[in-house]
Chain A
Amino acid sequence: MPEKYHIKTQPVPPRRPRIGKHGVVDWREDCARCHNCVKKACVYDRYRQESDYIRQLSDVDALFFDCMGCFSCVQDCTKGLLCLSINPEYEKLGNSYWKPDIIKTTWLQAETAKIPVSGAGYRGPFSGHGFDSMWTDMSEIVRPTRDGIHGREYISTSVDIGRKPAFLSMEGSRMVSTLPPLVSIPMPLIIDLSSPLHTLPPLDHIIAKTATCTDLIAIMDSRYRPENEANLHNIAFYLGPDSRPVPKEILQKTRLVEIADSKTVCEQIKELKKQHPEIVVAVRVDLNASGISRAIDLADLEEIEVIHVVADPNGNEIGAEKPRFIKDMIRQIHTSLIERGTRDEVTLMAGGGIALPEHMAKAIICGTDLITINLPLMIALECHLCASCKPGMPCPARLETIDTAYGVGRMTNIIAAWHDQLIEVMGAMGMREVRRLRGDVGRAMFFENLEEETFGKLFGTKNRA
Chain B
Amino acid sequence: MANFSEQKIELKDILPEKTLNTRVPQEGVDRSVKPAPSRYRNEIAKYIVHRDLNCARCGKCIEMCPHGVHVRQTGYKYFGEPSNYLCIGPSCEKTAHYCVAKCPQNALQIRENPMYKVLGDYRWTADLILATWKMAETGSVPAREYELNYETGNSGGGFDKLRFKFPAKPPVKLDPGQIDTSISLNKREDGRPKIKIDVPWYGGGMSFGSVSNVTQLSKARVAVAWNTFTCTGEGGFMERMRPYDDHVITQVATGLFGVREETIQRVPIVEFKYAQGAKPGLGGHLLGDKNTIYVSRMREAVVGISLFSPFPFHSVYSIEDHMKHIDWIKHVNRRTLISTKVSTPTDVDMVAVGSYSAGTHIVHIDGGYGGTGAAPDIAKKNIAMPIEYAIGKVHGFLRDEGVRDKVTLIASGGIRSAYDVAKAIALGADGVVIGTAEMVALGCVRCSRCESGRGCPRGIATTDPDLAKKMNIDWGTQRLINLYTAWRSVLVDILMRFGMRSVTELRGRTDLLMHLDYTKDVQA
Residues in A whose Cβ lies below 8 Å from that of B278: 121-122
A358 contacts the other chain (CB 8 A): yes
Q: Give the contacting residue for B451; candidates A43, A117, A143, A460; CB below 8 A.
A: A117
CB of A437 to closest CB in B, whole Å? 14
A158 contacts the other chain (CB 8 A): no
Contact A124 B381 (CB under 8 A): yes
Residues in A whose Cβ lies below 8 Å from that of B312: 139, 141, 149
B375 contacts the other chain (CB 8 A): yes
The count of chain B contact residues (Cβ–Cβ below 8 Å) is: 102
Can you show 6 pairs from A to B with CB atoms below 8 A apart? A43-B453, A69-B447, A70-B457, A70-B458, A135-B382, A462-B518
Residues in A whose Cβ lies below 8 Å from that of B40: 72, 75-76
A464 contacts the other chain (CB 8 A): yes
Given A126-B386, A462-B518, 18 more A-B residue pairs with CB atoms under 8 Å apart are: A71-B445, A75-B42, A76-B42, A117-B374, A117-B377, A118-B377, A119-B372, A120-B446, A121-B369, A121-B375, A126-B160, A132-B381, A141-B318, A142-B318, A428-B311, A453-B389, A458-B513, A464-B517
Chain B minimum-CB-distance residue to A458: B510
Contact B351 A430 (CB under 8 A): no
Given contacts A68-B447, A119-B451, A142-B354, contact A428 B117 (CB under 8 A): no
Chain A minimum-CB-distance residue to B120: A123
B158 contacts the other chain (CB 8 A): yes
Contact A456 B372 (CB under 8 A): no
CB of A124 to closest CB in B, whole Å? 5
Residues in B whose Cβ lies below 8 Å from that of A135: 368, 382-386
Q: How far is the CA of A125 from the CA of B125 in the complex (A)?
A: 11
Residues in B whose Cβ lies below 8 Å from that of A74: 42, 44, 115
Chain B minimum-CB-distance residue to A108: B377
CB of A370 to closest CB in B, whole Å? 18
Most B-side CB within 10 Å, residue of A43, A425, A430: A43
Residues in B whose Cβ lies below 8 Å from that of A421: 376, 378
Contact B461 A119 (CB under 8 A): yes
Contact B379 A139 (CB under 8 A): no
Q: How far is the CA of A4 from the CA of B413 in the complex (A)?
A: 36
Chain A minimum-CB-distance residue to B277: A121
Q: Mark A46-60, 1 if CB is under 8 A from B, else 0.
A: 000000000000000
Contact B281 A142 (CB under 8 A): no
Q: Give the contacting residue for A450; candidates B44, B287, B385, B450; CB below 8 A.
A: B385
Residues in B whose Cβ lies below 8 Å from that of A122: 123, 278, 368-371, 380-381, 414
Residues in B whose Cβ lies below 8 Å from that of A69: 118, 445, 447
B141 contacts the other chain (CB 8 A): no
CB of A177 to closest CB in B, whole Å? 39
Q: How far is the CA of A357 from the CA of B121 in the complex (A)?
A: 23
Chain B minimum-CB-distance residue to A70: B457
Contact B376 A424 (CB under 8 A): yes
Residues in A whose Cβ lies below 8 Å from that of B161: 126
CB of B180 to closest CB in A, whole Å? 26
CB of B109 to closest CB in A, whole Å? 16
Give the interface of A toward B (CB within 8 A).
22, 43-44, 68-72, 74-80, 83-86, 105, 115-127, 132, 135-143, 149, 356-358, 361-362, 421, 424-425, 427-430, 442, 445, 450-451, 453-456, 458-464
Contact A124 B121 (CB under 8 A): yes
Residues in B whose Cβ lies below 8 Å from that of A22: 118
Q: How far is the CA of A68 from the CA of B118 in the complex (A)?
A: 12
Residues in A whose Cβ lies below 8 Å from that of B392: 454, 458
B343 contacts the other chain (CB 8 A): yes
Residues in A whose Cβ lies below 8 Å from that of B32: none
CB of B171 to closest CB in A, whole Å? 22
Contact A119 B450 (CB under 8 A): yes
Q: How far is the CA of A463 from the CA of B439 in the complex (A)?
A: 37
Q: How far is the CA of A187 from the CA of B444 in the complex (A)?
A: 40
Q: How far is the CA of A83 from the CA of B115 in the complex (A)?
A: 6
Contact A70 B447 (CB under 8 A): yes
Given contacts A72-B458, A138-B384, contact A118 B123 (CB under 8 A): no
Q: How far is the CA of A424 from the CA of B520 in the complex (A)?
A: 42
Q: Give the contacting residue for A123; candidates B118, B123, B458; CB below 8 A.
A: B123
Contact B458 A142 (CB under 8 A): no
Q: How far is the CA of A121 from the CA of B446 in the complex (A)?
A: 9
CB of B290 to closest CB in A, whole Å? 10
Chain B minimum-CB-distance residue to A421: B378
Q: Give the contacting residue for B156; candidates A105, A116, A126, A136; CB below 8 A.
A: A126
Residues in A whose Cβ lies below 8 Å from that of B321: 141
Residues in A whose Cβ lies below 8 Å from that of B121: 123-124
Q: How far is the CA of A69 from the CA of B445 in the complex (A)?
A: 9
CB of A366 to closest CB in B, whole Å? 14
Residues in B whose Cβ lies below 8 Å from that of A463: 517-520
Q: How far is the CA of A421 from the CA of B274 in the complex (A)?
A: 21
Q: Give the contacting residue for B354; candidates A123, A141, A445; CB below 8 A.
A: A141
Contact B372 A358 (CB under 8 A): no
Given contacts A70-B457, A120-B436, A120-B446, contact A454 B118 (CB under 8 A): no
Contact A68 B457 (CB under 8 A): yes
Contact B342 A141 (CB under 8 A): yes
Contact A428 B160 (CB under 8 A): no
Most A-side CB within 10 Å, residue of B316, B317, B346, B351: B346
Contact A125 B446 (CB under 8 A): no
Contact B515 A459 (CB under 8 A): yes
Chain A minimum-CB-distance residue to B377: A116
Contact A454 B41 (CB under 8 A): no
Residues in A whose Cβ lies below 8 Å from that of B43: 75
Q: Give the contacting residue for B382; candidates A75, A425, A453, A455; CB below 8 A.
A: A425
Given contacts A454-B392, A464-B517, contact A117 B375 (CB under 8 A): yes
Q: Mark B432-444, 1 if CB is under 8 A from A, else 0.
A: 0000100100001
Residues in A whose Cβ lies below 8 Å from that of B371: 120-122
Contact A125 B447 (CB under 8 A): no
Contact A427 B311 (CB under 8 A): yes
Contact B44 A71 (CB under 8 A): yes
CB of A75 to closest CB in B, whole Å? 4
Q: Mark B324-361, 1 if CB is under 8 A from A, else 0.
A: 00000000000000000011011110110011000000
Contact A464 B379 (CB under 8 A): no
Residues in B whose Cβ lies below 8 Å from that of A455: 515, 517-518
Q: Give the contacting residue for B389; candidates A75, A79, A454, A462; CB below 8 A.
A: A454
Residues in A whose Cβ lies below 8 Å from that of B118: 22, 69, 84-86
Chain B minimum-CB-distance residue to A442: B346
Given contacts A80-B41, A126-B157, A358-B381, contact A120 B524 (CB under 8 A): no
CB of A27 to closest CB in B, whole Å? 12
Chain B minimum-CB-distance residue to A459: B518
Chain A minimum-CB-distance residue to B444: A120
B322 contacts the other chain (CB 8 A): yes
Chain A minimum-CB-distance residue to B370: A121
